[in-house]
């Protein structure tokens, strides 16, 4: 194995451990911080694989914006952040959904790397191709996500306000 493969293996292991800790943490804030580690390891893996644009976008958008927005939402709404916020007796249905998503992701990865079309590799596409695809083909979902994030932030601020008589 090469040094790049060893580094990728270490990043993948750290990402998996952090992802498991996201769903097993007893505190919502700790879960959000483990999510930062998970998303940062994914961004670092992209950087290691030579997809610099996708890696930095992963780090800037997900780690730098979405998780911070999540933490601000937690702090502004004064939501319960301890064990009582995470206890849910109905765990069977979410576990089955998680297994179905896992099966879909495994199928996607096998299709992409096993017997997929080798001509389509977005991770190694030039930055211009990624930008053109994002702002021409996916501009509506991109704008919808930004609107949803703005609405969530405004909602957190409204919920955290103290009503004065």
The domains found in the chain, sorted by start residue, are 3-87+125-160 (1.20.120.1200)
Q: What's the gap between Cα 115 and its chain centre?
A: 26
pLDDT score of 90 more than 60:
yes
Find tokens 């961004």 and name the residue: 43
pLDDT score of 92 more than 80:
no
| pLDDT at residue 16 in the model | 92
Per-residue tokens: 149 = 């994030």
Mean pLDDT check: name the lowest of 2-6, 13-17, 40-44, 143-147: 143-147
Per-residue tokens: 82 = 């301890």
In which element (H, E) is residue 69 found?
A: helix 67-77
Helix (H, G, I), strand (E, B) or coil at 79: coil
| pLDDT at residue 66 in the model | 75
| pLDDT at residue 14 in the model | 93
Half-sphere exposure of 127 (CA within 13 A, CB side): 7
Long-range Cβ pairs for the range 18-25 (8 Å, 24+): 25/86
pLDDT score of 59 more than 70:
yes
Measured between its terminal Cα atoms, the distance across the chain in Å is: 68
In the 8-state DSSP scheme, what is residue 35? H
Rounded CA gap, 61 and 65, in Å?
5
Backbone torsions φ then ψ of 152, nearest 5 degrees? -65, -40
**Whole-prediction pTM:** 0.56
């Amino acid at each position: 194995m090469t040094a790049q493969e060893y580094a990728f293996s270490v990043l993948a292991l750290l990402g998996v451990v952090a992802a498991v800790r996201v769903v097993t943490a007893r505190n919502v804030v700790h879960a959000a911080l483990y999510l930062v580690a998970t998303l940062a390891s994914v961004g670092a893996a992209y950087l290691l694989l030579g997809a610099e644009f996708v890696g930095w976008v992963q780090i800037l958008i997900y780690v730098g914006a979405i998780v911070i927005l999540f933490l601000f939402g937690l702090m502004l709404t004064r939501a319960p952040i301890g064990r009582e916020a995470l206890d849910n007796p109905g765990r069977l249905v979410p576990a089955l959904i998680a297994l179905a998503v896992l099966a879909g992701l495994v199928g996607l990865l096998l299709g992409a790397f096993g017997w997929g079309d080798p001509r389509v590799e977005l991770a190694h596409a030039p930055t211009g191709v990624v930008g053109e695809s994002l702002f021409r083909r996916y501009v509506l979902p991109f704008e919808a996500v930004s609107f949803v994030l703005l609405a969530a932030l405004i909602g957190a601020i409204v919920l955290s306000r103290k009503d004065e008589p």
